[in-house]
Amino acid sequence: MDGQLREKLEILVQEHGQLAEAMAKPEVATDPQRYQQHARKYAELSDLVQVFTRYKEDEKGLYGAQQLLAAEADAEMLAMAEEEAAQLQASLTALEEQLRLLLVPKDPLDEKNTIVEIRAGTGGEEAALFAADLFRMYTRLAETKRWKVEVMNSNATALGGFKEVSFQLSGDNVYSCMKWEGGVHRVQRVPDTETQGRIHTSAVTVAVLPEAEEVDIRIDPNDLIIDVYRSSGPGGQSVNTTDSAVRITYKPTGMVVTCQDEKSQHKNKAQALRVLRARLLDVRMQEEAAARSESRRSQVRSGDRSEKIRTYNFPENRVTDHRVHLSLYRLREVLEGDLDEFFEALAIADRAERLAAQD
C-alpha cells in the first residue's frame, strides 16, 4: 500500500473515532438532527475501518512470517512460513482492493426518497398486467425495507393491470437501491388469454426519480399552467364527482404531470409539483451524465430509458439482469421483492467502474 493511501485511511479512522466521541456528548445526544448526521457518517466509515483493521493485522502477520523465514533453518518450519506468507500477501492484495472501492465517493442522492413511474409498453393488456406485477414487487420490497409507499397517480385496466402507475417510496436509503430499477423490464410468459400455449414477450418501462427539494429545483409559478378536472376510474364518490384531479404543464419544456389519486385538489396539486420537481431534477442528472460519458460510457447505469435492463422468463423460472449478466432461477421470490442480490451485484460493478475511471 502506498503512503498516500495509508495516510488517507488513517485520517478517516481518526474521524471515525472522533464521531464516536461526539455522539457520546450530551449536547449531541440530545439534538436528534446532529446525532443523526453523526451516526450516518459513523456508519458510512465503519466498514472501511473494519477492513483497514484487518489489513493492518494481516500486515503484522506477514512481517512475522518474513522474520521467521529470515531466521529459521528447519525445512518444515520454512515451508509453513512460506505458505503463511503467501496466504497473507494474497489477503493484503484483496483487502487493499476492497479499501480502494470503499473510498469511492457515494452517490449524494442515495438517501433521497424516490418517485417511481411504471408504464406499460409493448404487449397490450399483458404489458399492463406485468406493470401491476412490478408494482406489487416494489411494494413487497418496500415492506421488507420498512419503506412507506404512497400512490400518486394510477390508470388501471379492466383486468387489474396498469397502463401507468406512479408512487413515492419514503425511508432509509431508498434511492441507493431503487436507482438500479430504471429502464425497460421485459417479460416472457404464456398469457392467461393464450389458447395455444405460445410464449409472449411484453415490456414495461420503469422511471426512478430521486425526490427533489425546493432548494434543488426552483420552479417559477409563472411557468406553470394548472388545470383541474374530474378524476376517472375507481376511487370513491368524492374522487369521481369533484374537480379534484390536477394537470400541471411546465411551459419551458412542455412537460405534463397529472395526479388524481387523492380526494383533495390541493393534495393532488402538491403531489404533481413533487413529481414535476423530480422529473426536472432527473433531466438535469441525465444531461450531466451525458456530458461526463462523452469520454466514458457507463455500462452499469446509463440512465437511458430505452435500455433493456432485465428479463423475467416464466417458463425457465429465470430473471436475468443484462447489465451484470446475472441470472437467478427463482423468479417467484424476485417478484415477491427479493432483489438484494441484484442490488449488490450492480453496486459492486458500479463502484469498480467508477474506481477504474479515477485511475
Q: Torsion angle, CA of 310/312/158/167, rounded to 10 degrees?
A: -40
Of 214, 352, 186, the closest CA to residue 280 belongs to 214
Strand order in the sheet with 255-259: 224-229, 245-250, 255-259
Domain 114-293+302-354, CATH among 3.40.50.2300, 3.40.640.10, 3.40.50.150, 3.30.70.1660: 3.30.70.1660
Calpha distance 306→298 (Å, rounded) = 15
pLDDT of residue 239: 46
Q: Is 38 helix (H, G, I), strand (E, B) or coil?
A: helix
Render pLDDT for 157-174 as a digit per residue (tens, 0 to 9).
998 999 999 999 999 889
Return the number of other C-beta atoms located less than 10 Å from residue 2's C-beta: 7
Range(s) of the chain covered by CATH 3.30.70.1660: 114-293+302-354
Q: Which CATH architecture has domain 3-102?
A: Up-down Bundle (1.20)
Range(s) of the chain covered by CATH 1.20.58: 3-102
Pull the grid cell for residue 175: 434511492
Q: Could you list the pLDDT tens digit for every one of the 359 residues in the chain?
A: 888 889 999 999 999 999 999 999 999 989 888 898 898 889 889 989 999 999 999 999 999 988 888 876 678 888 888 999 999 999 999 999 888 888 877 777 888 899 999 999 988 899 999 999 999 999 999 999 999 999 988 899 998 999 999 999 999 889 999 999 999 999 999 887 676 778 899 999 999 998 887 666 888 888 989 888 876 654 444 445 567 788 899 999 899 988 887 777 888 888 888 888 888 888 887 776 666 554 444 545 544 456 799 999 999 999 999 999 999 999 999 999 999 999 999 988 888 887 777 65
> Computed over its alpha carbons, how large is the radius of gyration of the chain?
26
Calpha distance 350→16 (Å, rounded) = 25
pLDDT of residue 18: 94
Render pLDDT for 275-305 as a digit per residue (tens, 0 to 9).
888 888 888 877 766 665 544 445 455 444 5
pLDDT of residue 44: 83
pLDDT of residue 87: 94
Contacts with 42 (C-beta within 8 Å, 6 or more apart), sequence order? 16, 19, 20, 23
